[in-house]
Every structure is written in C-alpha cells, then in structure tokens.
Structure 1
Amino acid sequence: MEFRIDSAVLTDAVGWAARVLPARSSVPALGGLLLEARDDRLRVSGLDHEASARVDVAADVAREGRALVLGRRLLEICRVLPRGSVECAVEGARLSVDGGGARFGLSLLPLDDYPASPALPAFRGLVEAGAFAGAVGQVAVAAGRDDALPVLTGIRLALDGTTMTLAATDRYRYAVRTLEWRPEGGAPEGGAAGVTDVVVPARRLTEIARSLTASGPVRLAMDGGSIGFEQDGVRATTRLLDGRLPRHAKLFALGKHAVATTGLEPLTEAVKRVAVVAEGDSPVRLGFTAGTVRLQAGHEDDIASQCLPATLEGAESQTVAFNPAYLLDALGSFHTDTVSFRLLGPGQRALLTAGSGTSHRHLLMSVRAPLD
C-alpha cells in the first residue's frame, strides 16, 4: 500500500475514526485503525464493541492495499506532521509516514485479528445536517452523566411521520427539541405504525453531530439494536441503549401558570455574575415582577444581586431559584434574543422557551432558596 495525501486531510480523517477506539480492550486489534487505499481514495475505519466510524477522503494512491496500525499513535503522529503533502507506504512489517522532512514508522497489527465492521442498518430517511447538529447540542446538556443509570445518559430520538423529537433528562432537568425530517421508503419500524422511539448514547450522538458539515442532508439508518448516520463519505454507527426515558408530556403540561420574559444575553451574563458567590449547591434566585427581574445569590455577608428589565403576565410577582450551572446550561441552549419562563411558583418546575416558540423547550426544577 502506498499513497500521498495532504497532512490536514489525513489528520482530520484519523481524528474522526479514532474517536470510537476503546480506552482499554482485551482485543489489541480494537486499538487499531484500518487504512484502505484504492481508487484514489483512502478509507480510515475504527470500531469498538459499541460503535464504529468510517471516513473516505481523497488521496493519490500509487499502490492499493490495507494496513492496520495503532490508532492513537497514528493520531499523535498526524498532529505533529508538518503542513503539506505526506507519503504513506507499507514497508515490510511497518507503515512509514513521511512529510516535510519528518519520517515516522509504525508497526503493523495483524489484519486477521481485526473484526469486520458492522453493516449500516436500513436507511430510514434524511435530516438536514445543520438543524440536526443544532438540535442535538440543545438537548445534550440535559443528559445524565451517571453510568449507574445508563438510559439517562442517552438522548431519546423519536420519529413520527415527518417530525423528529430529541429529548434528554437527568431527572433534574428535561430538554426537548423537535425538527422536521424526511422519511425514506415508508414508515419506520417500531411501536405504532410510523413511529420509532429509541435512546442513543448522548456522548456518541454529540460526537457524530459535531462531525457533520453545516449543510446538506444526513442519511439516518436504524434497526432494533443500532443507529447509523452517513454524509459525504463519513459513516458512523452506535448501539442503542436499553430502556426508555421518562415521558415529558405530563411534566410539560403546566396548567395555570405565569409567563415571564427577559433578554437572553443580559440574563446569561447576570447569572454568571451573581453566581460567583453561590457556593456548593447554593442556588440563584430570580424574582420577577411586572417590569423587572432581580437576581440574587449567596447568603449572610457574601451576596450578589442585579436587576434587569422583564415582563410578567399572569401574576403580580413570581420567585424561583435554580442551580446556577443548570440554569446556564439551559440558557446556553437557546439562540434567540429573549427567553420566556413559564412559572408555577417557588419550589416547582419551570419551563423555558424561546419566546412563544415550542420547538425547543427546557424544563428546570426550581428549588427553595435559603433567601425565601
């Protein structure tokens, strides 16, 4: 095998495929990346027991072939390569990487020990890359980090007709985002006719979403145990999580409530400012009136406060308090000029939306602050 390729292109391809490599494995070959050169293309593939990644990039192939090398070592080499053209070739039992006067050699791993890459599941439809990546980012902040509750570390992906719903929760917050998608080849499998409802590992889905180009369609593939995505030579699969997330319909049905609205950017900056005195689990309190929201944090002599313009409908005043980190995560997931709080009262849940919009909603549990 022998090929020439731009160092930046090689680094990006290796970096993408190496994301799925296991930190530790009883199978040494799983620490490798498979390089395949043919037809003026280089394919870089990586996999573990849960996920796979594959990317095809342009290369000047002088001799076709395949090679398996330690993935993370190859990535380290790529990151320090001089800019410009790189020549890679199999020489005996090693892969040589030569560019800009620098030369590296990597031992080859046995190809016979490398498992076959999983097949991509059946295609289900298309979704726009930019919208999908943005939606994943908006809900991923609410996914759990506790591996003792695996299903809560995932993102729910539900397909119903032409609507895709993404949702995540760690029991203290719940983010939901809907967007359009285009079914392909009839109704998806699962549940009622035309409905699919699965849970995808949030970390894997976030990595995939970040790798997508800003525009163009992404092909979505799915079966009973895995999900796959493909766009412009990039392909990734990951296993689904067992179980289901708690349903959000009842939580988001607030009944009679007040609505407070204020500027998103000023509120975000104010939360960051007053939160510097919020130690440990100390919350930030928001007191809304008809024309103002007053933020306050801390206790005794270590306190901070700030007032901002706001509107309030449905009540004369409302006070809520949130974990400042959770509140900042929620605010950071919106990309509008204003944010609205649908409020039930102190110690009760509050629903954040982008003004009157409903495509992205973020539920936060309010706590009773010591200042109440």
Structure 2
Amino acid sequence: MKFRVERDVLAEAVTWTARTLPTRPPAPVLAGVKIEASADGVLGLSSFDYEVSARSEIPAEVTEPGTVLVSGRLLAEISRSLPGKPVDFSVEGSKVTVVCGASRFTLLTMPVEDYPTLPTMPDIAGTVAGDELTHAVAQVTVAASRDDTLPLLTGVRVEIEGERITLLATDRYRLALREMTWKPASPDFSTVALVRARTLSDAAKSLGGSGSVNVALSTGAGVDLVGFEAGGRHTTSLLIDGDYPHVRRLFPDETPIHAVVSTQGLINASKRVALVAERNTSIRLSFTEGQVVLDAGQGDDAQASEALEAVLVGEDISVAFNPQFLLDGLGALGTDFTRLSFTHPNKPVEFTGQSTLEGEDSSHYRYLLVPIRFAN
C-alpha cells in the first residue's frame, strides 16, 4: 500500500476517527485505526469497539491500494505533530513508514484480519440542521447521568413523531426536555430510541458544523443502531436496551408561583455565593416582590449573600439548590431571562427561558430541578 495525503486533512480525519477508541480495549486490535486506500483516490479510516463505530473518508493520491491496521492514538499524535507538508505512507511487510518533509516514522502494523467488521449504516431516517442539533443535545445532556451503574439514565430518550423530535434526559435530580424540528425521510415517521448521551454529544459536536446531519435509525430489526452522517464522516452506536422511566409526567400541569430574573445576573451571583458553599451544600434563593436574595453558608462557616432584581408572581417562596445543577440549567437556557416556576418549596422547580423580563416563556427547552430541603 502506498499513498500521499495532505497533512491537515490527514490529521483532522485521524483525530476524529480515533477519538472514540477505548483506553482499555477488550482486544488489542480494537486500539487500532483501519486504513483502506482505494484505487479511486479515497482513503477510508475506521475505528470500532463493538459499540461505537466511526468512519471518515478523505481524498488521497493512491499509488498502491491496500488495507492496514495501526495504533490509532499513536497515529493521531504523529499526524498532528507533522510539519505542514504532504504525507507519504507506504507499507512494507509488517511495518508502515510515514514520511513528511524531514520527519520519518516507522509503525508496526496490527493483524487486520482480526479486526471486526464495522456495522452497516442504517437507512437514513431524516436530516437535521447541524447547529440546532449541537445546541439541543448540549442542552439535554447536562441532565444525563454519569453513573454507569444506571445505564438507562446515561442515555437520552429520543422521541420522533413526524417533523418533531423530543430529547429527554434525567439523572433523578434534574430533568431536561428539548423539542426541535427536522426533515424526516417519511412524513409519518415515528419511533423512540435510547441513545448513549456521550455518543450523542460527541456526534453533535463533531458533525454539527457540517451544515446538515443525516440521522439513521434501525430499531426492532435485529441490531438496534443509531447513525449520524455529515461531511464524509459517519458514526454508529448501539442503542441502550430497556424501558426509560416515564419522566414527562414530572413536569407540573400548573405553577401558581413564578419568578423571572436575568439569566446572566443569576449565573454570576450564583458563582459568587457558591464560593462559600461547602461540598454537598446548597445555595438558597429567597424570592420576594421585586427581588431574589441568594445566600450560602451558615453558623460559624463562611457566609455570602447577594440580592438581584426579580419579578415575582404569587406569594413569597424560598428554595435551595445544588449550585452546580443550578448553574448547569442556567447555562443551558441560552436566553436573556429565566423563568422559575414553582408549585411548592419542596417540589421540583421548572426553568424556562424568555427574551424579556415581562414576556412569555418558551417551552422548547425545559429544565426541571429537584430542590434540596433545608431547615427553616
């Protein structure tokens, strides 16, 4: 095998393909990136760990077609460090030679015959705007669990009904819901899938800048897969198996009390007040007419408080939150003002965004946060 490729193109493709390689692969070959050079001038790079696959295709000057398997992380580090000149690859026996300008590397190959076959990309179910996908996924995955002992909650529930997609995630302490539109391949397309939050987040970040992203789904027909494709790259992932909890019912039907406050103002004040909040302690928010007072710390410990302008509709109310969970939700909103809707001081609080202090809130993104009980 012999080919020449541009350094920047190679570095970007190898880095993207190798990003999901396992740190402790169950088999040595799964630490490799498979390189396939075809006679038509296309270089394919692939990675697979039996759950997540990635494939990238880039143009190359192929002199001798062939296939080889090399250490993915090492190749990524080498390709990023090369000077800005064309890169020549050649294979002789069990070694790969990489030459770029005055730089020369020799890598050992891995047994490509032991490498598993990548899963076939499912049929395209529809197309979504890349920037909207990136934003929506970031808003929802903040609420997904990082605890691998609860695999169901490490996923994002994707509900598709025609032109509407709803994303849901929860870690039992907060719940995020985001609604968005897309262009389905079939106008009556309908399905539900549970996608790993890490995989979904990675795909949205790495492919979202491509303008539009094709989404592929295969459910109820043998292997359940989700796939994303854009700009000559595609990635697939096994779906999580199991019944996701019925979380939609947690959103309150009515909220007799609500308050509106500047989002950035609340973020800044929360960060300052949280400086004195010991580990696993809360920030308390006390809403009265015209203002909200944030405070943390008590007794002989360090204490802090800060008052902000706020609009309150309903009776006075005080709640306490985990500081990081509060900041996660405020940061995900992305609006000038935040509406906090209450039913009871000890019941979950719904966060929604709005563009003006006195305006209506938007229901496209909803963040539900369980308050921490505090002693009166």
What is aligned with 2:143? 142
What is aligned with 1:206? 201
| CA deviation map 1:95-129 (0-9, x unaligned) | 11111311111111122111111101122111111
Offset of residue 348 of structure 1: 1.5
- Percentage identity across paired residues of the two chains: 42
Whether the 8 Å CA contact 2:162–2:187 is kept in 1: the answer is no
The unaligned stretches of length 5 or more in structure 1 are 189-194
Whether the 8 Å CA contact 1:95–1:105 is kept in 2: the answer is yes
Query: What CA distance in whole angstroms lies between the structure 1 residues aligned with 2:27 and 2:250?
Result: 45
Answering whether residue 221 of structure 2 is matched by residue 218 of structure 1, we say no
Offset of residue 249 of structure 1: 2.6
Aligned length: 364
Structure 2 residue matching 1:214: 3-state secondary structure: helix
What is aligned with 2:314? 314
Calculate the TM-score normalised by the size of structure 2. 0.93
Offset of residue 246 of structure 1: 2.0
Output the amino acid matched with 2:353: A
Whether the 8 Å CA contact 1:198–1:244 is kept in 2: the answer is no
Farther off after superposition, 343-352 or 55-64:
55-64
Whether the 8 Å CA contact 2:159–2:191 is kept in 1: the answer is yes
Answering whether residue 275 of structure 2 is matched by residue 276 of structure 1, we say yes
Offset of residue 344 of structure 1: 1.9
Farther off after superposition, 238-247 or 212-221:
212-221
Query: What CA distance in whole angstroms lies between the structure 2 residues aligned with 1:121 and 1:140?
Result: 24
| CA deviation map 1:58-77 (0-9, x unaligned) | 22323322211111221221
Calculate the TM-score normalised by the size of structure 1. 0.94
Structure 1 residue matching 2:297: 3-state secondary structure: strand
Residue 215 to residue 359, structure 1, CA distance change in 2 (3 Å): farther
Residue 213 to residue 84, structure 1, CA distance change in 2 (3 Å): farther
What is aligned with 1:129? 130
Residue 344 to residue 81, structure 1, CA distance change in 2 (3 Å): same
Query: What CA distance in whole angstroms lies between the structure 1 residues aligned with 2:76 and 2:180?
Result: 35
Aligned positions of 1:351-362 closer than 5 A: 351-355=350-354, 356-362=361-367
Query: What CA distance in whole angstroms lies between the structure 2 residues aligned with 1:187 and 1:92?
Result: 54
Answering whether residue 25 of structure 2 is matched by residue 30 of structure 1, we say no
What is aligned with 2:13? 13
| CA deviation map 1:37-80 (0-9, x unaligned) | 22222211000111100011222323322211111221221232
Aligned positions of 1:79-118 closer than 5 A: 79-118=80-119
Aligned positions of 1:327-366 closer than 5 A: 327-355=326-354, 356-366=361-371
What is aligned with 2:176? 175
Whether the 8 Å CA contact 2:163–2:187 is kept in 1: the answer is no
| CA deviation map 1:185-240 (0-9, x unaligned) | 4543xxxxxx3111101111111111114252211111121100111101000000
Output the amino acid matched with 2:254: G
Output the amino acid matched with 1:237: T
Whether the 8 Å CA contact 1:346–1:367 is kept in 2: the answer is no
Offset of residue 28 of structure 1: 2.1
Answering whether residue 79 of structure 2 is matched by residue 74 of structure 1, we say no
Whether the 8 Å CA contact 1:264–1:337 is kept in 2: the answer is yes
| CA deviation map 1:1-55 (0-9, x unaligned) | 2222222221221111112322223432222111112222221100011110001
Output the amino acid matched with 2:174: R
Farther off after superposition, 164-173 or 205-214:
205-214
Offset of residue 254 of structure 1: 4.0
Query: What CA distance in whole angstroms lies between the structure 2 residues aligned with 1:26 and 1:245?
Result: 28
Farther off after superposition, 271-280 or 84-93:
84-93
Query: What CA distance in whole angstroms lies between the structure 2 residues aligned with 1:25 and 1:103?
Result: 28
Whether the 8 Å CA contact 2:89–2:96 is kept in 1: the answer is yes
Whether the 8 Å CA contact 1:348–1:367 is kept in 2: the answer is no
Output the amino acid matched with 2:351: L
Residue 343 to residue 41, structure 1, CA distance change in 2 (3 Å): same
Output the amino acid matched with 1:207: D
Whether the 8 Å CA contact 1:289–1:318 is kept in 2: the answer is yes
Aligned positions of 1:252-291 closer than 5 A: 252-291=251-290
What is aligned with 1:294? 293
Query: What CA distance in whole angstroms lies between the structure 1 residues aligned with 2:271 and 2:48?
Result: 40
CA RMSD of aligned residues (A): 1.5
Structure 1 residue matching 2:303: 3-state secondary structure: strand
Query: What CA distance in whole angstroms lies between the structure 1 residues aligned with 2:67 and 2:255?
Result: 64
Farther off after superposition, 339-348 or 275-284:
339-348
Query: What CA distance in whole angstroms lies between the structure 1 residues aligned with 2:101 and 2:332?
Result: 43
The unaligned stretches of length 5 or more in structure 2 are 355-360
What is aligned with 1:240? 239
Structure 2 residue matching 1:98: 3-state secondary structure: strand
Output the amino acid matched with 1:203: R
Farther off after superposition, 94-103 or 302-311:
94-103
Query: What CA distance in whole angstroms lies between the structure 1 residues aligned with 2:145 and 2:317?
Result: 29
Query: What CA distance in whole angstroms lies between the structure 2 residues aligned with 1:215 and 1:95?
Result: 32
Whether the 8 Å CA contact 1:254–1:344 is kept in 2: the answer is no
Whether the 8 Å CA contact 1:155–1:166 is kept in 2: the answer is yes
